[in-house]
Amino acid sequence: MKILHLASYDEWTGAAAPAWEEVVALRRAGIDAHFAYMPGGDLESRVGRQPFSHGIVTKHQDPRSVYLSLSSLGSLQKQHRFSVLHSHLTHDHWLSILLVRGRRSVCIARTFHARRALRNGFIARRLVALTDGVCVSNASFQGAEVLGGRRSLVTPPPLDAEKFGFIGTEPGLAIPLGEARPVIGVIGKLAPERGFETAFRAFARLLQKSQDARLLIVGSGWDRQRLEHLAGELSIASRVVWCGHVDDDLAGYYRSMDVLLYASPGSEEGHRAVIEALGCGTPVAALPVAGVDYVLGELGRDMIAPAMGPESLGETAHRLVQAGRVAFSRKCSERAAEFRHQRAAERLLAFYEDTFRGGY
């Protein structure tokens, strides 16, 4: 079996990152899996040197660019004879269908990574009807109207345990923080509607009970100035550590945290940050956003806030701090095993086999 994953994007974010990790997971399981993407962004800097990655999807979507993408993909298909084309975004989904053109020797699969992609118009329904197998990165997407009642597989972002592995119950030190504890973390792009306002307000509430607490902000973006102003308004500015964009040792920052605050799923709704934190043995205080209960499993009873809002999130984080990281680290790591590369590959291979048999 040969498999081509497609993500018509050029940045290491959104659907592209989990799509790449699925390719790596499959290759580690002995499957000849490849990845097609748009060149020119930081995605290429991460994956472009690998012989199984192909920056051949054009960035523009005009007729000429579509023709060039199809021509390049067609040449790649002739060379490798992929039996599965697995798309992750709507543009590459269309490219797959146009490339296959009804040839039953090739199956088309699609993963939906965000609720906004589940549009229920005529064209979207037709696109799904022409697809052999459907996956969703968030369990709450199952049953979406556009899927027409068909079965779908939940495929959360795969976890690379070599990077995001459990190495001890005590917090690490990615950066010098002195004796300040607890360390509360937030990870993501500094942009509106990414949950930072809620996280800041939740931390302000926790700080009333844990006066030595620090807040690590791991990420960069254009919204930092507004968030700095909000931190001043909430009187937490002196307790906030702005770490900026982190690439090489993101796991070290997770391990530095006593608790990760999770207030928003971001652009890719598979809850990748939650999975990475669990892999590092870091407890998560999460708002009850759609699908996070599936990721946390039984841990959700302790880690999911009972209500939306900063007060509930802050109280949940405080309870986790009181219990101590050691009380949850091993349980977090055990839960993360469900998302490691081996399990992700097993899920995908079973899905492809069922798809060939007409099971999805």
User: Do 192 and 325 belong to one domain?
Assistant: yes
Assigned domain for 177 exists? no
User: Do 199 and 312 belong to one domain?
Assistant: yes
CATH number (domain holding residue 108): 3.40.50.2000
User: Do 201 and 116 belong to one domain?
Assistant: no
User: Do 104 and 206 belong to one domain?
Assistant: no
Q: Work out the angle at residue 285's Cα, subtended by the Cα atoms of residues 310 and 211, and round it to the nearest 5 degrees.
A: 70
Q: pLDDT by residue (tens digit) across 47-72?
A: 988 999 999 999 888 889 999 999 99
Assigned domain for 271 exists? yes
Assigned domain for 127 exists? yes
Quick one: pLDDT band at residue 182, thresholds 50, 70, 90?
Answer: very high
Assigned domain for 132 exists? yes
Q: What domain range includes position 295? A: 183-338
Q: Are 245 and 272 within 8 A, CB to CB?
A: no
Structure-block tokens of residue 258 = 């006593």
Assigned domain for 178 exists? no
Predicted TM-score (pTM) of this structure: 0.93
Assigned domain for 348 exists? yes
Q: pLDDT by residue (tens digit) across 305-343?
A: 999 999 999 999 999 999 988 899 999 999 999 999 999
User: Do 331 and 348 belong to one domain?
Assistant: no
pLDDT at 180 exceeding the cut of 90: no
When the pLDDT of each residue in the chain is averaged and rounded to a whole number, the result is 92
pLDDT at 176 exceeding the cut of 70: no
Assigned domain for 168 exists? no
Q: What phi and psi, each to the nearest 5 degrees, are found at residue 188?
A: 155, 175
Our count of domains for the chain comes to 2
Q: pLDDT by residue (tens digit) across 124-149?
A: 999 999 999 999 999 999 999 999 88
Quick one: pLDDT band at residue 6, thresholds 50, 70, 90?
Answer: very high
Percent of the chain at pLDDT above 70? 95
Quick one: pLDDT band at residue 173, thresholds 50, 70, 90?
Answer: low
User: Do 23 and 142 belong to one domain?
Assistant: yes
User: Do 90 and 200 belong to one domain?
Assistant: no
User: Do 190 and 332 belong to one domain?
Assistant: yes
The residues that bridge with 85 in the sheet, in sequence order, are: 4, 108
Assigned domain for 169 exists? no
User: Do 87 and 189 belong to one domain?
Assistant: no
pLDDT of residue 174: 63
pLDDT of residue 229: 96
Q: pLDDT by residue (tens digit) across 63-110?
A: 899 999 999 999 999 999 999 999 999 999 999 999 987 667 899 999
More confident call, 281 vs 13: 281
The mean pLDDT of 160-181, rounded to a whole number, is 74
User: Do 260 and 147 belong to one domain?
Assistant: no
* Alpha-carbon gap, residue 238 to 244, rounded angstroms: 16
User: Do 124 and 96 belong to one domain?
Assistant: yes
User: Do 72 and 146 belong to one domain?
Assistant: yes
Say how many residues make up the chain: 360
